[in-house]
Amino acid sequence: MPKVTVIVPAYNAEQTIVATIASVQQQTYQDWELIVINDGSSDRTLELLKRIREPRMRVYHYSNAGVSVARNRGIALAQGELIAFLDADDLWSADKLELQVAALQQYPHAAVAYSWTYFMNATATTIHAAPGVWFEGDVYQQLLVRNFLYSGSNPLVRRDALVLVGGFEPTLTHGEDWELFVRLAAVVQFVVVPVGQVFYRQSSTSASAQVDLMEQRLLLVIDSVFSAAPPQFLSLKSHCLANLYQYLTQLCLKRVSHPNGTKQAKQMLWKAISVRPQMLLNRHTQTLLFKLLILRFFSYKVAIYLLHSFSRSHAVKISFNS
């Protein structure tokens, strides 16, 4: 049986699925199986999957039930003792599995290995590195504050740990990865691979683009997570909420397409500062304020040009095969 099972939930992923599968095939670690859960796609996803020549890949078809159910279906079908999830629009560096498997072998007490993340745009032409973190061992407190794994495409998890916590919560459509990570962190240890290996795509059609809906759903998830947290951690909720609104501000600014679009970004940043005034001392918050000031004091076209120039100056060039 394979050591690792890679689970790819796919829903109308014709634009990205081939590249995503290729990033699995290019892994330097080769003892894996690939399970693709076609979650009721109505585009050319299935047609493109049929063209891929990969004997280790199995494709299963279901009516659309959402990403959480799709991942849980993959877990039930998995043969590997280690499980990795890869969303159908994300990518991995070629050494992702190799280094994460090695980390879990080196630290057998850990059940989750995670890597650092890059954010990329829809066409993977602009890439930004997320801040690297070094949290290891008991990371429950740190995960309550923010999802430093950023996406479900990041971790490699021992299957026994996933079975222990019951997999993904099937009713969740937003924040389902963070909610699972918190439950895992409550009972198992984490280990970090301090290398950027996960390429998280943010596009206008991704779940992260739906800011209003995302706010509504994530507030419910946060309430649920903290209702299950021990009393000594409840004071962290305001910090978690501030980080949420800071992130939503960032999403708003990335998608400003009309002068009125800055209004939502201002509202989100104000909420972040209101629930935790210390956020004003945060460098990232200060950067967001700077961007809002540009939109306030320059004409719309000039402001957009300056913001795009600022983004390009902070972009990095990355090879997905290294």
Chain segment 268-283, per-residue pLDDT in tens = 999 999 999 999 998 8
Same domain? 291 vs 146: no
Query: 81: which residues sit within 8 A by CB, 6+ positions away?
Result: 3, 158, 159, 160
Determine contact, residues 95/284, Cβ cutoff 8 Å. no
54 in the same domain as 12: yes
pLDDT tens for 255-308 read 665 555 688 899 999 999 999 999 999 888 998 998 888 877 776 666 666 666
Whole-model pTM? 0.90
What tokens appear for 267 in the block?
């509202």
Give the per-residue pLDDT at 296: 74
Helix residue ranges, H only, the chain: 17-25, 45-51, 67-77, 96-106, 140-145, 159-165, 176-185, 211-227, 237-254, 262-275, 283-297, 300-313
User: What mean pLDDT do residues 161-187 have?
Assistant: 97
Residues 105 and 162 in one domain: yes
pLDDT of residue 316: 52
Q: Could you tell me the CATH number of the domain that includes residue 189? A: 3.90.550.10
Residue 202, pLDDT score: 82
Q: What is the mean pLDDT of residues 219-227?
A: 98
Taking a C-beta distance cutoff of 8 angstroms, is the pair 118, 130 a contact? yes
| pLDDT for residue 201 is more than 90 | yes
Average pLDDT of the chain is 91
Q: What is the pLDDT of residue 261?
A: 61
Q: Is 12 left (phi over 0), alpha (psi -120 to 50) or beta?
A: left
Q: What share of the chain has pLDDT > 90, as a percent?
A: 75
- Give domain status of residue 14, yes or no: yes
161 and 239 share one domain: no
Q: In this structure, is residue 320 part of a structural domain? A: no
Please name the helix (run of DSSP H) or strand (run of DSSP E) that holds residue 233, with its range, or none. none
Give the residue among 34, 47, 40, 45 at the shortest CA–CA distance from 7. 34
Taking residues 146-165, what's their average pLDDT? Answer: 98
Residues 239 and 162 reside in one and the same domain:
no
Residues 130 and 25 placed together within one structural domain of the fold:
yes
The strand pairing partners of 92, in sequence order, are 198
**Residues 9 and 50 placed together within one structural domain of the fold:** yes
Question: Does residue 318 sit within a domain?
Answer: no
The larger pLDDT score, comparing residue 237 to residue 319, is at 237
Q: How far is CA 78 from CA 71, 101, 184, 187, 311, in A?
A: 10, 17, 19, 22, 40
Same domain, 16 and 146: yes
Which residue range(s) make up the domain with 57?
Answer: 4-201
- Rounded to whole angstroms, how far apart are CA atoms 226 and 235? 10
Position 320 scores a pLDDT of: 44
Residue 13 and residue 144 in one domain: yes
For 171, other C-beta atoms within 10 Å of its C-beta total 11
- CB of 89 closer than 8 Å to CB of 170: no
DSSP annotation string for 201-232: E--TTSGGG-HHHHHHHHHHHHHHHHHSS-GG
Same domain, 155 and 255: no
pLDDT value at residue 309: 66
Q: Are 182 and 104 in a shared domain? A: yes
Q: Which of 86, 85, 83, 79 has the alpha carbon at shortest distance from 104?
A: 83
Give domain status of residue 219, yes or no.
no
189 CA to centre of own chain: 20
**C-alpha count within 13 angstroms, C-beta hemisphere, residue 290:** 10
Residue 164 lies in a domain: yes
221 falls within a domain: no
Residue 222 lies in a domain: no
**Number of compact structural domains in the chain:** 2
Give per-residue pLDDT as tens, 105-138: 999 999 999 999 999 988 888 889 999 999 999 9
315: confidence class by pLDDT, cuts 50, 70, 90: low
Q: Verify that 20 and 92 share a domain, yes or no.
A: yes
Distance CA 148, CA 190 (A): 12
In a domain, 34, yes or no: yes
